[in-house]
A and B are shown apart, each in its own frame.
Chain A
Amino acid sequence: MVLTVDAPPATGARPLPPRRASVLRRAAPLWLGLPAVIVVIVTQGYPLVTQIIMSFQEFGLAQQFGQPAEWIGLDNYTRVMTDPVFWGVMVRSVVFGAVVAGLTMVIGVLAALLMTKLPTVIRVALQVSMLLAWAMPHLSSLTVWQWLFNTRNGVVNTVLVALGFEQFRGYAWLLDPASFFVIAGAVVIWGSVPLVMFMVYASVTQVDESIMEAAQLDGAGPFRRFFSVTMPIIAPVLFLVGMLQIIWDLRVFTQISVLQDAGGVTSDTNVLGTYIYQIGLGQGDYGQGSAIAMIMLVLTLVLTAGYVRQLLKNANQS
């Protein structure tokens, strides 16, 4: 450290550190990032580009066995857009995503606020149980939830019958699309609330205690304090988490696909992800599958546009 003071270049550079640094630092960045860039381009960028191309081509089974793919312009898109089945899937996905993301956010934020009011022992118990749920691998939790709602021996049906709801004796939850989505939604919400709760709790605890007290002394009630003091401070985190939930729930695949295999009626329970899988890899129509995938991608980008614009603004400022 003493050496830095003695070294002439360092002292000379003191008034202009950024410029000197930028000259010094410009030498190597490109090749350092290269391996990462190559892997990402090969595994993400290239497939994305070929998928965009395929969505404008006739690309069925014949093309997979070597026949050249023919350009057909927007035909795949018009075929998809005029198909009532697609719109059914679309509406189902959007409603499912909105309801599940909304419930996840409400429960997660309320749980985070609740945590600030809890005695230590109960708070730790809640944190541990949320953490366990967060850590559960999707497939493990999916099989457990199937067992909970099992037709003959599931704990849910047994308890409901014991409470006097006779209609649940031997009720097959997965067969009826409505109750199918109740289970799918419950699994997803159960798995995503912990992340929301922990992130919101982390930012709520950063709200300065003295500001809260001042607001209270000024006569602000609990709701007023929440919306006028807490809310503006935690808003960026809420925005980020909420957006992630919407994207994740809109593209839900694993939960729906596994529950379909376990007894759901595929045609009544398809969401965008499983529909792409069925049309593309199941029926071998890569062209139409790709077109649906692109529609899904555009939908995601539209939803995230606001966030990206915000980031761009921040990036330009720094």
Chain B
Amino acid sequence: MTTTSAPPKTVAVVTRGGTTEPRRRRSRRSTSVFAVIGVALALVWVFPIYWMLNSSLQTDEQLYGSGLTLFPTDLFTGNFERVIADQSFWRAMGMSATVTALAVVVAVLTAIAAAAAVSRFRFRSRGAVILVILVIQMIPAEAMFISQYRMMDSWDLINSALGLALLYAGHSIPITIWMLKGFIDGVPYELEEAGQVDGLSRFGAFRHITLPLLAPGLVASSIFAFLSSWNEYTLALVIMKDNAFATLPLWLRRFNVSYEATDWGGIMAGSALIAIPVIIVFLIVQGRMATGLVGGAVKG
């Protein structure tokens, strides 16, 4: 900027008064450069999703023809109709829904009690408990699936929605406790104490005073558990060995293999059908999810 060697304060004043014009011009030019980069970045990130929808609405002639069809001008719905008529799609949908619902219910119910314990009660090993929660979170699932498979096999829970749901719940519980703890910390304990003085039991005070205030946290952590179970692939691959028990991610893989020549139109329609509900849920709760994660991370 300026090359004066005067004391900082003076420089500041001089800079302000003297160089307003060039700096404004420069910042305007850099703003438009930033804008171009921003638009390019947005386009690169949205393109695969656009291309999925675009391809899912095209006929085979358009998909495998010589040129590219950049816009789905015909709005061909045959790919979606084919997927929706496919029984294995609905079976996988039902399996995913069952596994996910079981996993979310088990994870959230057990985690809320544990989070209340960690947040509300002071005990000596509290720091250690939080640490254990985090360390479990760090253990890669890939380091354990051999013995998880063996365990489920010995309990006859291979190809079982319950077996897979239990594994998912166990994986989600630590992070769910962590998120819920952050939310419970945010509700002052004095509120519950006031309730107890007014004659509520301790459980009653938690149930009638804190729990309603936790609704956003419960929604956020349930959604988080929902998403990780709904999208999970590795354990599903290990536990659901039989095609008849495939969850949606596995179905999408086998859909690819089972046709003679890969049916890309159908696969894109299937991908879209799996992604759209997730994206909608995600858009609804995105703000809360980020705060939930960061809240837990910052408060420890």
- Residues of A participating in the B interface, judged by any CB pair closer than 8 Å: 1, 3-4, 7, 10, 18, 21-22, 25-26, 28-30, 32-33, 35-37, 39-40, 42-44, 46-48, 50-51, 54, 64, 111, 114-115, 117-119, 122-123, 125-126, 128-141, 143-145, 147-148, 150, 152-153, 155, 158-159, 190, 193-194, 198-199, 202-203, 217-219, 221, 236-237, 240, 247, 250-251, 253-254, 257-258, 261-262, 272-273, 276-277, 280-281, 286, 289-290, 293-294, 296-297, 300-301, 304, 308, 311-312, 314-316, 318
> Is B89 an interface residue, CB under 8 A from the partner?
no
Taking a contact as CB atoms closer than 8 A, the residue among A3, A158, A198 that contacts B198 in the complex is A3
Taking a contact as CB atoms closer than 8 A, the residue among A114, A133, A221 that contacts B34 in the complex is A114
> Is B205 an interface residue, CB under 8 A from the partner?
no
B66-84 residues with Cβ-Cβ distance < 8 A to A are: 67-68
> Is B150 an interface residue, CB under 8 A from the partner?
yes
B166, A300: Cβ atoms under 8 Å? no
Bound-complex Cα distance A114 to B253 (A): 37
B contact face: mostly helix, strand, loop, or mixed:
helix
B268, A147: Cβ atoms under 8 Å? yes
- Residues of B participating in the A interface, judged by any CB pair closer than 8 Å: 1, 8, 11-12, 15-16, 30-31, 34-35, 37-39, 41-43, 45-46, 48-49, 51-52, 55, 63-64, 67-68, 106, 109-111, 113-114, 116-118, 120-123, 126-131, 134-136, 138-151, 166-167, 169-171, 173-174, 177, 189, 193-194, 197-198, 202, 230-231, 233-234, 237-238, 248-249, 252-253, 256-257, 264, 267-268, 270-272, 274-275, 278-279, 282-283, 286, 290, 293-294, 297-298, 300
Q: Which 9 pairs, one residue from A and one from B, show the smallest C-beta to C-beta distance?
A: A43-B170, A315-B127, A135-B282, A129-B46, A36-B114, A29-B121, A273-B142, A251-B140, A140-B271
Can you add 7 more A-B contacts, CB < 8 Å, to A26-B121, A308-B135, A316-B127?
A7-B197, A51-B144, A136-B48, A147-B264, A262-B256, A272-B142, A300-B138
B146, A281: Cβ atoms under 8 Å? yes
Q: List 7 A-B contacts (CB under 8 A).
A: A50-B151, A51-B147, A139-B253, A219-B11, A221-B1, A262-B256, A296-B142
- Tell me which of A25, A144, A273, A277 has the highest count of chain B C-beta atoms within 10 A of its own C-beta: A144
Bound-complex Cα distance A1 to B297 (A): 33
B140, A33: Cβ atoms under 8 Å? no
Point out the residues of chain A lying under 8 angstroms from B147, CB to CB.
47-48, 50-51, 54, 286, 290
B146, A293: Cβ atoms under 8 Å? yes
Bound-complex Cα distance A128 to B283 (A): 9
Bound-complex Cα distance A42 to B114 (A): 16
What residue of chain A has the Cβ atom nearest to residue B191's Cβ? A1
Bound-complex Cα distance A33 to B118 (A): 8
What residue of chain B has the Cβ atom nearest to residue A123's Cβ? B38
B39, A135: Cβ atoms under 8 Å? no
A47, B144: Cβ atoms under 8 Å? yes
Taking a contact as CB atoms closer than 8 A, the residue among A50, A219, A262 that contacts B150 in the complex is A50
Bound-complex Cα distance A281 to B39 (A): 46
B48, A3: Cβ atoms under 8 Å? no
Q: How far does the Cβ of A17 sit from chain B's closest Cβ, in whole Å?
A: 10
Taking a contact as CB atoms closer than 8 A, the residue among B42, B173, B197, B268 that contacts A39 in the complex is B173
